[in-house]
Structure 1
Amino acid sequence: MLRYRCGGVCLALLGLALVLVGAVGVLIVPDLVADERAFRAARPCVGAATGDCLRSVPATVRGTLIRERPRNYAYVLELDGPRPVPGDLDMGGADPLLKDLRAGDRVTVTLWRDYAIAVGKDGVTQYSSDSPEGEPQVILALALAFLPLGAFAAHAGGKLVVRARDYAAQGPPGHLVPLGKRALGAAVCALPAGLFGLWWGGPIAVAVMWVLLAGALWVLTGRRETTGGGRHARPLESPR
């Protein structure tokens, strides 16, 4: 019984932590959307530089890392420069500039707030992967993945704590297995929903697609269990 109770406490705490992280992710999405809009509206600084204009800062190349192996690629530019110029900057590809840079080269880094969005040299500019573009969709997709997993873990952990004596004698209830599968399926649905939002719209598109996919999965798996198709479905009663 003590084993079930301790396991239930750990599982419930994990679930609450996941729900908290997911809730925070959902709550910060409006701020990320505002940042994305401000970035799209940004123009080069005129006169005194401010945080919301595009400013150019000189930097020196320390080195480059170009690795183009399948499933193990990297395009990193190593820089020395004043803050907030990053020490390592993901360039997303070797062209058109990264492949030609060498240690000691002087470059110009274009900054927006603390994002290094582009690097230029001799009239050639390459945009980096450091940008607020797409952050709302990615954060919302991750939050939507955490929420069902956290809710299930908190529910299952709470059940184990409250009914530890019964579960120690009879084993965990069978309904937790299909419920866990549904929660996992809902979390997986966040991946295509996030990609859909990146390609076709913003956070609203992510939320709508996730609700549709997770809802359809929930209905289909629930129907399968209640009609006796699942291994954990309740057996049919024999006639008296």
Structure 2
Amino acid sequence: MAERAWATAGKKASPDRKSPGRPRLTGVALIVLSLLWAVLSYLAFTVWVPGRQERYEHYRAAEPCPAQATPQEVAAKDCLTTWHFTVAKTESTFAGKARNYEATLKDKGDDSWQRVVRFSDSGPLFDELHRGDEVIATGWRRDIVVLSKDGIRQNTSDAPRDEHQGNAAMGVLVALLAAQSLVFGAVRLARPTAYARFVWEPYGRWLAFTNICVGVGVGAASGWLGIPWWTVLVTVPVVVCAVMARLLRQQRRAAASSARVRRPRWQQDSRVSSR
């Protein structure tokens, strides 16, 4: 009995449960991180996307400026100006995985003045530009937004576009990351010794990488297909849930199959003895 009492006392004196201090500290850090993600998502949908949409609408509503308009009149009317330039050179270079298309323009009356305009694609105008060509530039808010020659027009990289799918996808992405960080952090604060499913491996890693891949993929695909940007608000969460459900089903099937393979030793011995 004395030996049993010592053994019982030893078990009570040295419990196997981990100290809750570190999980709670991690939980606080995750909640702070979730607040940062939430702020970024809020700014995306209240400043970034609306600001770009408003700029695009103002550009579409802009009209050509009157002839001989002063800079003050141009700024007041927010109109489109027309300039005549000469192409000094064109250049196509690689920058990472993308190719940059640049055309250097100069003023006819002042060769010392030059300006570089950039394009996101080589057509339809950039491939037709050569040194010495005379081009017509359309300006708006001190940016060259369109370049044309012989009736061929091409928007520059500074031209406002109605392409907010990528911006909206990034806003949804950081919102999902904020929700994940908040849930994982709150569980650690509420249950610092029992948060087995709310850890990085494997569920946290699966969810984080699924959010990132789906957000980037859906944003790029929506922009390429021309789908309205507001559809991304629904598409990204739905696809993330579908992918996570599939991953969880696969994980459960793998766990069930491994459990069938790894039977307890006493069950195997009982089968052998019964035979």
Q: TM-score by structure 2 length?
A: 0.60
State, as a whole percentage, how many aligned pairs show the same letter. Answer: 22
Contact conserved, 1:42 with 1:54, CA < 8 A, in 2?
yes
Unaligned runs of 5+ in 1: none
Aligned-partner SS, 1:117: strand
**What is the identity, as a one-letter code, of the residue corresponding to 1:25?**
A
- What pairs with 1:1-240 in structure 2 (closer than 5 Å)? 7-28=26-47, 29-46=49-66, 48-50=73-75, 52-57=78-83, 64-67=90-93, 71-78=97-104, 88-95=116-123, 96-97=125-126, 100-102=129-131, 108-113=136-141, 115-120=143-148, 125-160=153-188, 162=189, 166=193, 173-176=196-199, 177-198=202-223, 199-224=225-250, 228-229=252-253
Relative to structure 1, the CA distance from residue 127 to residue 146 in structure 2 (aligned partners, 3 Å threshold; closer, same or farther) is same
- Write the letter of the residue equivalent to 1:216: A
CA-based RMSD: 4.2
Q: Report 1 or 2 for greater relative contact order, CA contacts < 8 Å, sequence distance ≥ 6.
A: 1
AA at the equivalent of 2:179: A
Cα gap change, 1:124 to 1:223, in 2 (>3 Å) = closer
Q: Judging changes above 3 Å, is the alpha-carbon distance between structure 1 residues 134 and 183 closer, same or farther for their aligned structure 2 residues?
A: farther
- The DSSP-based 3-state class of the residue aligned with 1:49 is helix
User: CA offsets per residue over residues 56-78 of structure 1, 9 Å max, x none?
Assistant: 24567675431269934221235
CA distance 1:58–1:158, change in 2 (3 Å): farther
Question: Do the aligned partners of 2:102 and 2:116 also contact (CA within 8 Å) in 1?
Answer: yes
**Residues 108 and 119, structure 1, Cα contact 8 Å, conserved in 2:** yes
User: What is the CA–CA distance in structure 2 between the aligned matches of 1:25 and 1:130, rounded to whole Å?
Assistant: 20
From the superposition, tell whether residues 9 and 57 of structure 1 become closer, same or farther in structure 2 (CA, over 3 Å): farther
- Deviation sequence 1:106-154 (CA, Å, 0-9, x none): 7543223354322346765432122321442221011112111232234
Question: Residues 32 and 74 (structure 1 numbering): CA distance in 2 closer, same or farther, change over 3 Å?
Answer: closer
Per-residue deviation at 1:6? Answer: 5.5
Going from structure 1 to structure 2, the CA distance change for 1:149 and 1:44 (only over 3 Å counts) comes to same
The verdict on how the C-alpha distance between 1:230 and 1:46 changes in structure 2, with shifts beyond 3 A counting, is: farther
Amino acid at match of 1:119: L
CA-CA distance at 1:52 after TM superposition:
4.1
Letter of the 1:151 partner, please give it.
A
The amino acid of 1:197's aligned partner reads: S
How big is each residue's C-alpha offset from its partner over 1:141-197, in whole Å with a ceiling of 9 and x where there is no partner?
11112111232234334545x379648xxxx73333324423431332223432343
**Do the aligned partners of residues 181 and 80 (structure 1) sit closer, same or farther apart at CA in structure 2, a change above 3 Å counting?**
farther
